[in-house]
Amino acid sequence: MQGPIIIKFGGGLITVKDKLCTPKIAIIHNLAKSVQHLVNIDKRVIIVHGAGSFGHLRAKSWKLHEGRTNEGLPKEDDLSTQDEAVESVRQDMQHLNQLVVEEFNKLGIETVTHPPHEWATGTGSNFSGELHQFNLDGEKVHITYGDVVDCNNEKEFGILSGDDICYRLATELKATHMIFAMGGAPGVMSSPPSEPSSELIPIWSKYKQFEAIHQSEIDVTGGIHLKLTVADKISKIVPMVWIVDGECPERIVQVVLNNESYGTRIIPESP
């Protein structure tokens, strides 16, 4: 069986990242149409989507990425404990996932969702969890996402990033392509996209210099820096690793059909 195509829908692409639980339905629909194109030519696709405003804002406020703590928690909120916040974020992520699933279903694409808090333990790329379930029922598009998961240590819980899930899926299931669809830029840029001098880096490998802004006041998973660290590790095993503009979803299809598009290809550092 040919390996799957793993596509990451960035949280900042499919949601308005600074407005709590605000999806971008039109963009999700267009992304689903690009996946439909791949499904129609018998490609096996696994989707990992980010959290955006359905996860990061509340997780940041309640310090869920730090694990169990009593320090610096909100005093005025509709929630009163970290445990309530964990459950709230999980419910919000399931809601976002349902919105994604609905757009696939509208196009006649059958899906199966794997909520990480039900099958994964621990954070980072060494999390524990059985991935064989993503190989079952290959006729369907399998979907998972970044989530709050339990931890078997003093943290008790933490944030499992969708990027770390991508690493494990792409390398262990022997993916043919790993495509990160992001919002706000055509790929990896030489400097923040808002700067007029910013240029696309068409081929990126570790140690290539670039400047990026990490929205640490919102993001709880590491932003573009984690993405590139993960992409670099994946590129050592998976032949086609790309970062493209998800607002131009036809570029996802171009990468799969032609191994070429307007975006950034991630390649391993030369030995």
CATH code assigned at 40: 3.40.1160.10
Q: Is the pLDDT of residue 221 over 90?
A: no
Asked if residue 190 belongs to a domain, the reply is yes
Asked if residue 241 belongs to a domain, the reply is yes
Asked if residue 271 belongs to a domain, the reply is no
Is the separation of the CB atoms in 15 and 24 below 8 Å? yes
- The predicted pLDDT at position 222 comes to 58
Q: Is the pLDDT of residue 193 over 90?
A: no
Q: Is the pLDDT of residue 38 over 90?
A: yes
Asked if residue 217 belongs to a domain, the reply is yes
Q: Is the pLDDT of residue 212 over 80?
A: no
Asked if residue 191 belongs to a domain, the reply is yes
How many domains does the chain contain in total?
1
- The predicted pLDDT at position 220 comes to 55
Q: Is the pLDDT of residue 244 over 70?
A: yes
Q: Is the pLDDT of residue 50 over 60?
A: yes
Asked if residue 55 belongs to a domain, the reply is yes
Q: Is the pLDDT of residue 218 over 50?
A: no
Q: What is the mean pLDDT of residues 65-73?
A: 94
Q: Is the pLDDT of residue 270 over 90?
A: no
For the chain, the average pLDDT equals 92
Q: Which domain does 111 fall in, by range? A: 5-266
Q: At what angle do helices 250-258 and 25-40 cross, to 10 degrees?
A: 20
For residue 35, give the nearest of 181, 166, 167 by alpha carbon: 181
- The predicted pLDDT at position 61 comes to 92
Q: What is the pTM of this model?
A: 0.93
- The predicted pLDDT at position 217 comes to 46
- The predicted pLDDT at position 239 comes to 95
Asked if residue 73 belongs to a domain, the reply is yes
